[in-house]
């Protein structure tokens, strides 16, 4: 059964409030396409998952920033414009849910390369530079193990005395200024490494006496569900809208989509916008499947708002080897055989793609790890989607 892990980006002005008031907050981009992309990230979070924070740099020493944790979500994502004042050590800080200008009070952020994942500190409505992060999209959390000291970047990425690599976080970090995201979904083995490092840095001492004061209870946010506007149909407003809807419903037994995802008890991980290369190469959605304790399949879903073009087959050739490595290199139980299942979703397919799919031949390649793994790229599955009555349905057009 899937229990994902997520890293939320904070800084020295927002982490103390998130920690003490027990929630994760992310921005609310003014641009609707960008906002739907953030919804896609947020909709992957489920109660019972794991949450880590990554405290990005302002001007604090290296040892006082980095990865912090460990928490669990206890609510679905929700929208709340209320400002949250800190408690105890964070009482002088506030996380805002709306513009502090009393004549504005709008809950939006501008996208800004310099501001990174937390967004610009200028209101896109009143145009005033307010100096605050506006974070109204939220998830309530509970502490699993609260560790006082963070795992700094050198320990996380460079120190190899603890096995494994934080590949997805490393790719995100090297992606370049202005391309950071508020949330990154990390692989199960990466979450295990972060937990090990937090225990090591803190000498296995989790704080038992730290006092938290949750700013809202789960029953208070039920009616604050984030609404996703797909548009009138038959296609979605944006490709990001399609991604957000699928991520929200990927484990909800949606006809045909649930056949692609497979048995829920075998779904080990799912995430969107998964980076697999230093140059920012990514797949739209990645699912990992596990049976009898061994990962056996990676399902890669590529999305198109309109018809799927023939270039989608070239993308499979680009990502197959690297997704094969990402899915196998750091697992605790060696994998000898991995299936890679491409899935193409759009408003149908172009004629050229349909012709090429007829002649597509599965292929295999070795992944030369300590335990040799043989990966096989399966014949792509093509799904056509349609928007109707605020939902999406799917039709399998091949196989």
Print the SS3 string covering 29-77. ECCHHHHHHHHHHHHCCCCCCEEEEEECCCCCCHHHCEEEEEEEECCCC
Strand partners, 341: 299
**pLDDT > 90? residue 25:** yes
Mean pLDDT of the chain: 92
Q: Say how far apart CA 333 and CA 191 lie, in whole Å.
A: 15
Where residue 181 falls among pLDDT bands split at 50, 70, 90? confident
Query: For 68-92, how does the pLDDT look when each residue is reduced to its tens digit (9 = 90+)?
Result: 999 999 999 999 999 999 999 899 9
Q: Say how far apart CA 378 and CA 126 lie, in whole Å.
A: 52
**pLDDT > 70? residue 361:** yes
Query: For 38-55, how does the pLDDT look when each residue is reduced to its tens digit (9 = 90+)?
Result: 999 999 999 999 999 999
Strand partners, 386: 393
- pLDDT on residue 163: 86
Q: Say how far apart CA 189 and CA 326 lie, in whole Å.
A: 11
Residue of higher predicted confidence among 111 and 342: 342
Structure-token pair, residue 170: 């490393």
pLDDT, mean of residues 191-207: 95
Q: Say how far apart CA 112 and CA 131 lie, in whole Å.
A: 13
Rg over CA atoms, the chain: 21
Q: Say how far apart CA 225 and CA 310 lie, in whole Å.
A: 38
Q: Say how far apart CA 97 and CA 106 lie, in whole Å.
A: 9
57, 147 in Cβ contact below 8 A? no
Q: Walk me through the domains of the chain, giving residue ranges and CATH numbers.
A: 5-224 (3.10.590.10), 239-396 (3.40.1350)
Where residue 174 falls among pLDDT bands split at 50, 70, 90? low
- pLDDT on residue 235: 96
- pLDDT on residue 234: 97
- pLDDT on residue 126: 95
- pLDDT on residue 112: 52
105: helix, coil or strand? coil
Helices within the chain (DSSP H only): 15-21, 32-43, 153, 167-173, 188-201, 239-249, 257-261, 311-328, 351-358
List of residues 6+ apart from 279 with CB closer than 8 A: none
Return the number of other C-beta atoms located less than 10 Å from residue 204's C-beta.
10
Query: For 114-147, how does the pLDDT look when each residue is reduced to its tens digit (9 = 90+)?
Result: 455 666 688 999 999 988 999 999 999 999 999 9
């Amino acid at each position: 059964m899937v229990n994902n892990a997520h890293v939320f980006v904070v800084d020295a002005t927002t982490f103390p409030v998130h920690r003490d008031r027990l929630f994760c907050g992310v921005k609310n981009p003014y641009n609707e396409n960008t906002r739907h992309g953030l919804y896609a990230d947020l909709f992957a979070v489920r109660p019972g998952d794991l949450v880590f924070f990554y405290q990005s740099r302002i001007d604090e020493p290296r040892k006082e920033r980095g990865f912090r944790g460990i928490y669990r979500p206890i609510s679905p994502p929700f929208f709340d414009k209320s400002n949250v004042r800190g408690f105890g050590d964070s009482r002088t800080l506030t996380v805002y849910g709306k513009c502090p200008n009393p004549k504005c009070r709008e809950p939006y952020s501008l996208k800004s390369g310099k501001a990174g994942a937390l967004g610009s500190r200028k209101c896109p409505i009143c145009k005033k530079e307010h100096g605050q992060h506006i974070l109204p999209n939220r998830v309530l959390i509970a502490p699993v193990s609260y560790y006082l000291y963070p795992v700094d970047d050198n320990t996380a990425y460079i120190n190899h005395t603890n096995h494994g690599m934080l590949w997805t976080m490393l790719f995100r970090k090297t992606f370049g200024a202005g391309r950071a995201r508020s949330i990154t979904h990390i692989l199960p083995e990466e979450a295990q490494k972060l937990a090990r490092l937090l225990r090591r840095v803190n000498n296995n001492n989790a704080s038992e006496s730290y006092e938290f004061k949750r700013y809202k209870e789960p029953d208070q946010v039920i009616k604050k569900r984030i609404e996703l506007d797909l548009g009138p149909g038959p296609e979605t407003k944006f490709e990001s809208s399609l991604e957000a809807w699928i991520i929200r419903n990927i484990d909800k037994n949606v006809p045909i989509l649930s056949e692609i995802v497979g048995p829920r008890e075998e779904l080990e991980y799912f995430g969107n916008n998964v980076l697999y290369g230093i140059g920012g190469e990514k797949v739209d959605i990645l699912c990992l499947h596990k049976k009898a304790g061994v990962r056996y399949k990676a399902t890669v879903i590529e999305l198109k708002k309109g018809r799927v073009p023939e270039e989608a087959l070239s993308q499979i050739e680009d990502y197959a080897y690297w997704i094969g490595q990402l899915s196998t290199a750091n697992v605790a139980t060696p994998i000898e055989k991995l299936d890679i299942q491409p899935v193409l979703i759009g408003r149908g397919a172009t004629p050229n793609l349909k012709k090429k799919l007829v002649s597509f031949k599965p292929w295999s390649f070795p992944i030369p790890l300590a335990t040799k793994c043989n990966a096989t790229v399966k014949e792509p599955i093509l799904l056509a989607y349609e928007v109707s009555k605020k939902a999406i349905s799917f039709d399998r057009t091949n196989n």
